[in-house]
């Protein structure tokens, strides 16, 4: 195995970009508090699996104590219960589609549908449910894989598909997207719109359309975009989300300092914020941190660093975890 792929493999285990995303979300939620959004009292619903990383962050950094983790795989029940980090984390072995209509309508929610697969009709139906029932002031985040669908995914479209005889390409990916989300796609798309790199744009369009379609029937309500991240620890992932807001919440949201951040996206038509983690040594980071936030055009004197890498670092240094080995 080459040195590069090995380093990528290590990165995958630790998932630094994902962690930056989580820290940015925490930062955003902290910025909502002074505008009158009492995040501490919100309920967080997510897919904690057996790690509960987001639950730990939200409880410790935001003081949230209504925490609900959903899991469909009943085989994980005992491990989830065993790994529950706090007493206030509730674990339910049900799908999001069953849990969402039962979320209390009397409190506000943060719901993070952190899927690990490519776009699927079940995701769209969960989004529809969440946007339909969550009270104003609630926040919905959706994460999906934007790599091309694989053989396993494509078998939903064509159960007879044989990966050993045929290689998946844009034709199949177009079929797959049409199968899962036909009514959310723009008209007139051709195979060339479903090339590998195009899939993230198609997915973003579908997610945007599903937020819009579900909010339109709610009188006086809007889905106000807040997050649009793209990042890659191993697969390219896309996270989009925002707030279900009436006129009051909209005013409150506009009065926050979110606009001052690099990652805030109040419009899904602007390109997503790319969380790019530059490869830096610990020593380089300590050196750079002393100069952060740096002025435009500043470069380190003691070693050469590409200006683009430096800009990326400036965007994320506050959120970037430092990994170290501990011997236990």
Binding site for other proteins (CB under 8 A): 95, 97-102, 105, 121, 125, 128-129, 131-133, 182-183, 214, 216-219
Euclidean distance between CA atoms 115 and 142, whole angstroms: 7
CA 4 to chain centre: 26
The helices-and-strands tally (H runs, E runs) of the chain is 12, 8
28 versus 215: smaller Cβ distance to other proteins: 215
* CB of 129 vs other proteins, minimal distance in Å: 4
70 versus 288: smaller Cβ distance to other proteins: 70
8 versus 216: smaller Cβ distance to other proteins: 216
127 versus 230: smaller Cβ distance to other proteins: 127
Euclidean distance between CA atoms 103 and 111, whole angstroms: 10
Find out whether the peptide bond into 293 is cis, omega within 30 degrees of 0: yes
Pairing relationship of beta strands 273-275 and 236-245 according to DSSP bridges: unpaired
Euclidean distance between CA atoms 25 and 153, whole angstroms: 30
* CB of 70 vs other proteins, minimal distance in Å: 12
* CB of 89 vs other proteins, minimal distance in Å: 20
175 versus 228: smaller Cβ distance to other proteins: 175
Contact predicate 239/19, CB 8 Å: no
* CB of 210 vs other proteins, minimal distance in Å: 11
From 153, 147, 269, 265, select the one nearest 204 (Cα to Cα): 269
From 93, 41, 97, 29, select the one nearest 67 (Cα to Cα): 41
33 versus 132: smaller Cβ distance to other proteins: 132
133 versus 316: smaller Cβ distance to other proteins: 133
Q: Which bin fits 303, alpha (ψ -120 to 50), beta or left (φ > 0)?
A: beta
Q: Tell me 159's DSSP state.
A: T
Pairing relationship of beta strands 66-70 and 43-46 according to DSSP bridges: parallel
* CB of 254 vs other proteins, minimal distance in Å: 26
* CB of 47 vs other proteins, minimal distance in Å: 16
Euclidean distance between CA atoms 135 and 288, whole angstroms: 43
7 versus 102: smaller Cβ distance to other proteins: 102
* CB of 92 vs other proteins, minimal distance in Å: 11
Euclidean distance between CA atoms 111 and 206, whole angstroms: 19
Euclidean distance between CA atoms 84 and 99, whole angstroms: 19
* CB of 17 vs other proteins, minimal distance in Å: 32
């Amino acid at each position: 195995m080459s040195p590069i792929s090995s380093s990528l493999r290590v990165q995958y285990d630790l998932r630094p970009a994902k962690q930056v995303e989580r820290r940015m979300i925490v930062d955003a939620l902290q910025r909502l508090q002074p505008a009158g959004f009492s995040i501490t009292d919100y309920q967080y619903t997510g897919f904690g699996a057996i790690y509960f990383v987001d639950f730990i962050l939200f409880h410790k950094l935001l003081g949230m104590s209504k925490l609900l983790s959903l899991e469909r795989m009943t085989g994980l029940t005992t491990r989830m219960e065993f790994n529950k980090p706090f007493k206030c984390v509730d674990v339910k072995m049900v799908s999001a589609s069953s849990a969402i209509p039962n979320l209390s309508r009397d409190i506000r929610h943060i719901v993070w549908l952190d899927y690990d697969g490519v776009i699927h009709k079940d995701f769209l139906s969960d989004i529809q449910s969440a946007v339909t029932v969550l009270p104003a002031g609630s926040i919905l985040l959706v994460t999906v894989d934007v790599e091309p669908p694989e053989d396993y995914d494509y078998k939903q479209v064509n159960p007879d598909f044989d990966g050993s005889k045929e290689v998946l390409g844009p034709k199949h990916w177009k079929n797959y997207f049409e199968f899962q989300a036909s009514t959310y796609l723009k008209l007139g798309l051709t195979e060339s719109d479903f090339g590998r790199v195009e899939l993230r744009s198609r997915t973003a369009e579908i997610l945007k359309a599903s937020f819009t379609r579900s909010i339109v029937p709610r009188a006086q309500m809007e889905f106000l975009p807040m997050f649009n991240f793209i990042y890659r620890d191993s697969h390219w992932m896309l996270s989009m989300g925002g707030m279900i807001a009436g006129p009051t919440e909209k005013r409150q949201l506009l009065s926050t300092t979110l606009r001052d951040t690099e990652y805030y996206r109040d419009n899904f038509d602007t390109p997503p914020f790319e969380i790019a983690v530059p490869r830096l040594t610990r020593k380089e980071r300590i050196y750079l941190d002393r100069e952060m936030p740096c002025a435009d055009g500043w470069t380190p004197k003691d070693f050469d660093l590409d200006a683009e890498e430096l800009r990326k670092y400036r965007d994320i240094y506050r959120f970037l975890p430092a990994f170290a080995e501990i011997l236990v």
